[in-house]
Amino acid sequence: MANSFEPKILAFLCNWCSYAGADLAGVSRLQYPPNIRVIRVMCSGTVSPHHLIHAFQKGADGVLVAGCHIGDCHYLKGNYMTLKRITFVEELLRFAGYDPARLHLEWISAAEGIKFAETVRAFTAEIRSMGPAPTFEATPRLALSA
């Protein structure tokens, strides 16, 4: 039964490092689970909390954000913002009662194809063990049972 759950994972990868890292994983023929859907963004710092909330609302079980290492950002300080913003969204999710572990931030450079594959493997396994994400739909029935 547990095997029937295939997590849907959305990945925001920055154009300059992490997307190239994913590319490297691909050309190196590294195996990783096919559960991720990749969205390429110019910088991990452009991923707004709206995107993350929207992803969960649309039924993502996990969201991965990956960008250049600190100090390597193509735009110098974009990923400083990423780090703070992701921390913010994690804490907001936690306060709303959702498990912040469903949101994951990782720094993956263009040379780290192996790290990319490993990250996706580990994150997919983690989400798989957590099960489907709770829905964002508020049903009136909950009010009666609560």
Residues that bind another protein (CB under 8 A): 49-50, 53-54, 56-57, 69-70, 77, 80-81, 83-84, 87-89, 91-92, 94-99, 107, 134, 136-140, 142-143, 146
d(CA 88, CA 109): 23
Cβ proximity to another protein: between 33 and 72 the closer is 72
Helix (H) / strand (E) element for 87: namely: helix 78-95
Of 6 and 122, CB closest to another protein: 122
Instruction: Report the nearest approach of another protein to the CB of residue 34 (Å).
Output: 26
- Least Å distance, CB 65 to another protein, is 14
Ranges of beta strands (E only) in the chain are 9-14, 36-41, 62-67, 103-107
Instruction: Quote the least distance from Cβ 3 to another protein, whole Å.
Output: 24
Three-point CA angle 139, 52, 85, nearest 5°:
125
Beta-strand pair 103-107/62-67:
parallel
| Residue closer to another protein, measured from CB, 37 or 50 | 50
Rounded CA-CA distance 27/121 in Å is 17
Least distance CB 77 / another protein (angstroms)? 6
